[in-house]
Amino acid sequence: MTRKLFRRGFVIIFISIILILSSTIVLNKMWRTSFDKLDDTDKEMLTELSRIHERFQTESDQLWTANYRFDNEPLILVRSNKDKGFFPTHAYAINVPEIANSLFAQKIDTPKHLNLPNVYRINQLHLGLVPWVPWNFGTRHVADADVFYFKYHPEMFTNPPLYFQFHYFLLHEAFHTYKQKTWTYDAEGDHMLDDPVDEENYALMGIEFKLLDNAMTATRQEDVRDALRQWTIVRTSRYEKWPQLVAETKAEAIEGTARYIEYRYSELIGDTLTVLATTEDPYHIQFSDAFRFISDGEAESAHFLGRSMRYETGAALGLLLDKIDPEWKEKIEDEPEKSGQTQYEILQTLFDIDAPIDEAELAEIKKAHDYETLLEQARKIVALAAEEE
């Protein structure tokens, strides 16, 4: 009797699974198969994707280089209900021709004005393509290639936190996957665990911030060059004393360039996202403001001056190099046959600056940028960092 009940239960469960699988496949094939029938979130997502594709089709060299064509890369966009949502409802595959004849896929009719390649909606039970995991992005292996997947959800289009709008977040993470796949700057990690909590280090960093501010606001190329030359001297002096800080320039190369893509796209579409962005007019602050806010305990943790700040300094250096060395993006790229240079290394070469630094020239830079006041601020930051441990 027990065995019969077990077998009957097994059959019922098996049939239930088949029915659920069949119904979701049929639903995916027949329900809302054209753009105009999709819900608002999916419509906004595909519209934003279309705008991104258009920029890469017409201005890819303004976003990175002409040979980085994100619009041609395979992409899986996974619909979720929230940030890092575990349960996907469906996904869309773009530039993934292998999915065309799959039982789990349905082509979506999209308007001509969107100018998108074929878009296929994928059933959430296609476990090979649709991830059931609690993180926002990654890769799936399709036809001997790693295809980037990215989760989106309604809040990305209604009230997203800074940097987590669909288009910026997507561009940032896709750049890591597709453009940086051969880069080796972070091969041994770029987490800056040995960042010295030292008042002199922070004070010199404060000078770097003032010089970046000067370069960012300069209107003449010679003033940009002068500020960046002094910045390179100060940065080199820090690396002379604390060689482990080379990790920050590697983080600038990896994270700063991905953030640079966000800022270039923002500029092209007339948006306000820029270096050290804020949500209120004028929609950004300067580096020296951030340093002062942190020292006064009014802003981010003191540890923000570590790896997190390298997203911003790396992006700023990229925007400034656009003005004085337009070939910098080719120079930073790592390839199997050519090692790249970080933004700092590009400036070192451009200005022919290396250790040991001329102490007299460094002293002049310190005096010109009120080093003693920066030391006072740096002591506060050291104290705050100790409290946060």
Residue 158 lies in a domain: yes
DSSP string over 187-234? TT----TT----HHHHHHHHHHHHHHHHHHH--SHHHHHHHHHHHHHH
Convert the pLDDT of each residue in 94-140 to its tens digit.
999 999 888 888 999 999 999 999 999 999 888 788 999 999 999 99
Report the 3 state secondary structure along 280-318.
CCCCECCHHHHHHHHHCCCCCCHHHHCHHHHHHHHHHHH
Residues 231 and 379 in one domain: yes
pLDDT for position 8: 63
**Intra-chain end-to-end CA distance of the chain, in Å:** 64
Over residues 21-40, mean pLDDT:
77
Which has the closest alpha carbon to 221: 323, 352, 328? 323
Residue 121, classed as helix, strand or coil, is strand
Residues 285 and 243 in one domain: yes
Rounded Cα distance, 79 and 63, in Å = 26
Over residues 332-351, mean pLDDT:
93
Residue 368 lies in a domain: yes
pLDDT for position 389: 74
Residues 245 and 331 in one domain: yes
Rounded Cα distance, 237 and 221, in Å = 24
Convert the pLDDT of each residue in 89-107 to its tens digit.
999 999 999 998 888 889 9
Containing structural domain, residue 361: 199-388
Residues 166 and 64 in one domain: yes
Rounded Cα distance, 121 and 28, in Å = 7
pLDDT for position 18: 57
Convert the pLDDT of each residue in 283-311 to its tens digit.
999 999 999 999 998 887 888 999 899 99
Convert the pLDDT of each residue in 270-286 to its tens digit.
999 999 999 999 999 99
| Distances from the Cα of 276 to the Cα of 263, 291, 304, 369, 385, angstroms | 10, 12, 12, 21, 21
Residue 234 lies in a domain: yes
pLDDT for position 7: 65
pLDDT for position 4: 61
Residue 132 lies in a domain: yes
Convert the pLDDT of each residue in 170-188 to its tens digit.
999 999 999 999 999 987 7
Residues 235 and 373 in one domain: yes
Rounded Cα distance, 347 and 329, in Å = 13
Residue 192 lies in a domain: no
Residue 13 lies in a domain: no
pLDDT for position 44: 98
Convert the pLDDT of each residue in 187-240 to its tens digit.
776 555 567 889 999 999 999 999 999 999 999 999 999 999 999 999 999 999
Place of tokens 């923000």: 304
Rounded Cα distance, 367 and 351, in Å = 22
Residues 155 and 49 in one domain: yes
Listed in sequence order, the residues at least 6 apart from 382 whose beta carbon sits closer than 8 Å to its beta carbon are 197, 198, 199, 202, 302
Residues 206 and 168 in one domain: no
Rounded Cα distance, 341 and 348, in Å = 10
Rounded Cα distance, 350 and 222, in Å = 14
Confidence of residue 262 (pLDDT cuts 50, 70, 90): very high
Query: Burial of 369 by CB count in 10 Å (0-12 exposed, 13-18 middle, 19+ buried)?
Result: buried
pLDDT for position 386: 87
Residue 344 lies in a domain: yes
Residues 229 and 127 in one domain: no
Answer yes or no: is pLDDT of 17 > 60. Answer: no
Answer yes or no: is pLDDT of 67 > 90. Answer: yes
Convert the pLDDT of each residue in 327-339 to its tens digit.
999 999 988 788 9
Residues 333 and 245 in one domain: yes
Domains: count for the chain: 2
Q: Which helix (H) or strand (E) holds 379?
A: helix 371-388
Residues 162 and 213 in one domain: no
Residue 146 lies in a domain: yes
pLDDT for position 5: 57
Average predicted confidence (pLDDT) for the chain: 91
Phi, psi of 324 (to 5 degrees): -120, -15
Residues 363 and 320 in one domain: yes
With a pLDDT cut of 90, the percent of the chain lying above it is: 78
Over residues 33-49, mean pLDDT:
97
Residues 237 and 383 in one domain: yes
* Amino acid identity for residue 17 in this structure: I
